[in-house]
Amino acid sequence: MVDGKMCVGIVKANLMARIDPDFYEEALSLKGCHEMDFTGRPMRGFVFIEPSGMDMDSDLEYWINKALEYNPKAKSRKKTR
């Protein structure tokens, strides 16, 4: 969480990143990246990056930076009681 909004996380062996929806289709073409679908349906703007897509520290840094770049534009969800 960054500024109260989902940004990055780890799900099993994959990195989860919240990225700009305008970059989503391009991101899916990158090595190790696929749609996040743990809810049963893909969520545009959220991707999983498999370990093969972050072999190098620079790969991990790339995805973290993509998520941090989008974070200020991302909408936060209101918490429900």
Query: DSSP string covering 2-29, please?
Result: BTTB--EEEETTEEEEE--GGGHHHHHT
Q: Is 39 inside a domain boundary?
A: yes
Question: Is 2:68 a contact under the CB 8 Å cutoff?
Answer: yes
For 45, other C-beta atoms within 10 Å of its C-beta total: 19
Per-residue pLDDT tens digits for 9-65: 999 999 999 999 999 999 999 999 999 987 788 888 999 999 999 999 999 999 999
Q: Is 42 inside a domain boundary?
A: yes
Q: Is 1 inside a domain boundary?
A: no
Question: Is 33:59 a contact under the CB 8 Å cutoff?
Answer: no
Per-residue pLDDT tens digits for 52-66: 999 999 999 999 999
Q: Is 2 inside a domain boundary?
A: no
Q: Is 79 inside a domain boundary?
A: no
Give strand pairing partners of 8.
17
Tell me the whole-structure pTM to 2 decimals. 0.88
pLDDT of residue 1: 92
Q: Is 23 inside a domain boundary?
A: yes
Please count the structural domains in the chain: 1
Q: Is 49 inside a domain boundary?
A: yes
Provide the domain limits for residue 17.
8-73
